[in-house]
Structure 1
């Protein structure tokens, strides 16, 4: 406890010396008793729009602020890209230990994680058929570290391990399992805590909830923002947001906060599977964002078994040109379950178009059109129902059994991971079960007279959604 509190105090002292302005109305608290690590709590009542803290841009741990950026050519960082560049800088600062300007900051950051990157095979198996297992990317990350990061460290060994007579030998060891694990830990810190650090005068197109597109965020430099990452996140109780100013980053209250209340950031509408993958925990508050993803290859395989067309590959190319094809499709929550709300229109269009007879598909392609997602034929409903049922059958346990099994207050790391995996798969199975029931009802309502041919003849496809390809 003493070491934990001492690290917190040193961190706050470092922030003050760095020019940070921290409101006396907030406190950094030890929340380990509720499995939340450190957190920020209001010590006094806070008004809406009140500044909670302001961090100078010079205190952000990023490429631009590290000495390493002055020692290694900019072209090298440009080649690495935002993620690997920040991992490289964090490795450098971490290896410098107390000599690093950010040493007090590193001392309050975790070095043990429950993110999926660090789960063993048995723990991952508890996720069963969840598509999140395909998104962990540990093997590809290892390859990137070996092919991209390690060569840079070797090339600039004397810089990276400045003052060490064994610099070159240490650089040669960077491909070892221990050092690759350290790179994964730096990457996990970035995934869990880093912000997309906008210039002070940037303008980003955001949606109605205030979130920018992934493409826009991916292009921004990444940075670790001290104190901002001490806030825990909550989808329902989000009461603060980080604002980007010319010389600083400022956390403001979004609503009045009472003394004693915790101050929460928000990760955006993430399903619990991604919350677990990126941050290493789950919470019921994010259950509303759960999805059940169905890989495109599974969908095409089901359609192929029902269709004898020789033009499926050509049709997939056409659909891809019209921005319909993705690696997978998310079926989302709705209560009560609504097909039009929860099943993406692109999935409906994909199945409709692939099930069309060859002459019908050729007519639409000749007009540059697509089927309308709101005009679903009986064959399409039946196919979607088979796809959903097949996806549900890939999970090794029944939904009812998972719900009936209690968590028994997990006390070990493995028990905790098993419990979190169970809740992730429960959320996904609930969605698939609801989708199956809704599709079965629709099939019964449509009867046997609602064919694709009649739908196509009665209502030609909607206008083209063709996009300009940039790759």
Structure 2
């Protein structure tokens, strides 16, 4: 088995053979001592807009670039969808070992993961009532593997395991726990490393500032982009960006980079809970993006307890795409109510509280309550929701902070102590938001109607405001 450095060198040789153009001013470094795996570092000073590396589209590990894409019907990939299709292709290339064009690439990808899907029950329990626990999706992913992915491997076993007389038996063996685990790992690689790959010829509408909407980005196929995914991410030190060109993808410096500095990409405005779920670590640089979710069932329970008959109103809000499984409240320093509460939560609360005659008039006009204003009654209900949400956590913010002081943060994320510490930091961030919004609402609830200057987010209802990606 190749050593860590040998695998890195083999990978770089493969990249060059694949047509990549790599600036000699950068190098792939072993950053395991900093618990960062591999990373890209500047060997010499790099100027703004200088090319760091250019990768031909043919080197991207994607559905369309795999031999398998031409060996089974295209409708099969369409039925699987982009995520399962890429997992299928990655399984195919991985099990082909040295025969795969991406064999050297697989050798530098992690084989062990620290994401929440691989945590023990006692470690997940440390997240307490964080909504991220409901977003891990292990059982749902396994069900998709068994019900959709493995049947395709069975159907095309002699293609998937070409040349193997045990092809059909191997297809049946995909149900074994170690192969389900392998599928989880491929899915985790995609979640942590894959890029939304813009087509060679873009058909998206770009606004005057060069941005595309998030909805359009979600429709893009995903692909594994070698070397680009070796860049670690940092919200504050981001100094590089990937640009999509007709025949290639180019990583360029967006700031001057001095010799010895690491080159960082950026994940965008991810809360630390999602950072942990998708990448298996957290950093204080992303604390500013923390959110706490108010579950929809907590809203309906609170309304029922207050004697509010909500079914007709919820049906109406459902027709207008207001309802969601939960609604985010965002971190803000210094904290105030402006822009921190998901506008759809305001609409939901105000619609539930409207007098019957006012609701009927609104319904006849096919309108909704204003999303940028919250009434005193609405603020009072929101305050009740926030307090109820805080009570869902077994420990208080003060208790967690005392524990954090007594037990310092563990630098090694992969240990049990490190996982406990990360989970504690996530729940502290959420509880701080609940404390801040409770303090703000305590005074506001009796002050009458006021404007919150809330804007409808670009994402899905309750999904939170998210940064749009600049078109490359």
Distance 2:361 2:409 in 1: 59
User: Is 1:413 aligned to residue 401 of structure 2?
Assistant: no
The CA deviation at 1:340 is: 2.7
Distance 1:263 1:11 in 2: 18
Distance 2:374 2:59 in 1: 55
1:359 alignment counterpart: 357
The CA deviation at 1:416 is: 1.3
2:429 alignment counterpart: 427
Distance 2:119 2:437 in 1: 30
Does the 8 Å contact 1:303/1:351 carry over to 2?
no
The CA deviation at 1:182 is: 0.3
More off after superposition, 403-412 vs 108-117? 403-412
1:284 alignment counterpart: 284
How large is the RMSD of aligned CA atoms in angstroms?
Answer: 2.2
- Superimposed CA distance per residue, residues 69-108 of structure 1 (whole angstroms, 9 cap, x where no aligned partner): 1111111111111111110010011101111111110000
2:170 alignment counterpart: 170
Does the 8 Å contact 1:62/1:223 carry over to 2?
yes
**Quick one: structure 1 residues 62 and 28, their matched pair in 2 at CA, closer, same or farther if it must change by over 3 Å?**
same
Q: TM-score, normalised on structure 2?
A: 0.91
1:468 alignment counterpart: none
2:223 alignment counterpart: 223
Distance 2:354 2:41 in 1: 59
Q: In the TM superposition, what are the counterparts of 1:53-92 in structure 2 within 5 Å?
A: 53-92=53-92
Q: What is the SS of the residue equivalent to 1:175?
A: coil
Q: Which structure has greater helix proportion?
A: 1
Does the 8 Å contact 1:40/1:263 carry over to 2?
yes
User: Is 1:259 aligned to residue 259 of structure 2?
Assistant: yes
User: Is 1:235 aligned to residue 254 of structure 2?
Assistant: no
Q: What is the SS of the residue equivalent to 1:339?
A: coil
The CA deviation at 1:2 is: 7.5
Q: In the TM superposition, what are the counterparts of 1:88-167 in structure 2 within 5 Å?
A: 88-167=88-167
Does the 8 Å contact 2:72/2:156 carry over to 1?
yes
4+ residue segments displaced more than 6 Å: 206-211
Distance 2:388 2:360 in 1: 30
Distance 2:213 2:29 in 1: 33
Does the 8 Å contact 2:290/2:430 carry over to 1?
yes
- Superimposed CA distance per residue, residues 115-165 of structure 1 (whole angstroms, 9 cap, x where no aligned partner): 111112111111100001111111111111111110110011111111111
More off after superposition, 87-96 vs 352-361? 352-361
- Superimposed CA distance per residue, residues 55-79 of structure 1 (whole angstroms, 9 cap, x where no aligned partner): 1111111111111111111111111
Structure 1 unaligned runs (5+)? 466-471
Q: What is the SS of the residue equivalent to 2:445?
A: helix
User: Is 1:45 aligned to residue 45 of structure 2?
Assistant: yes
2:388 alignment counterpart: 390
Q: TM-score, normalised on structure 1?
A: 0.91
Distance 2:210 2:272 in 1: 20
Distance 1:182 1:375 in 2: 49
User: Is 1:29 aligned to residue 22 of structure 2?
Assistant: no
Q: In the TM superposition, what are the counterparts of 1:185-224 in structure 2 within 5 Å?
A: 185-205=185-205, 212-224=212-224
2:336 alignment counterpart: 338
Distance 2:264 2:35 in 1: 15
1:372 alignment counterpart: 370
**Quick one: structure 1 residues 376 and 288, their matched pair in 2 at CA, closer, same or farther if it must change by over 3 Å?**
same
Q: What is the SS of the residue equivalent to 2:159?
A: helix
Distance 1:45 1:381 in 2: 53
- Superimposed CA distance per residue, residues 389-413 of structure 1 (whole angstroms, 9 cap, x where no aligned partner): 0101111111122222233535562
Distance 1:171 1:94 in 2: 15
Q: What is the SS of the residue equivalent to 2:339?
A: helix
Distance 2:353 2:307 in 1: 6
Distance 2:52 2:277 in 1: 29
The CA deviation at 1:209 is: 9.4
Q: In the TM superposition, what are the counterparts of 1:305-320 in structure 2 within 5 Å?
A: 305-309=305-309, 312-320=310-318
Q: In the TM superposition, what are the counterparts of 1:285-300 in structure 2 within 5 Å?
A: 285-300=285-300
Does the 8 Å contact 1:235/1:268 carry over to 2?
yes
1:442 alignment counterpart: 444
Aligned residues between the structures: 449
Distance 1:375 1:159 in 2: 60
Distance 2:129 2:266 in 1: 28
Does the 8 Å contact 2:346/2:373 carry over to 1?
no
Distance 1:213 1:307 in 2: 40
Q: What is the SS of the residue equivalent to 1:246?
A: coil
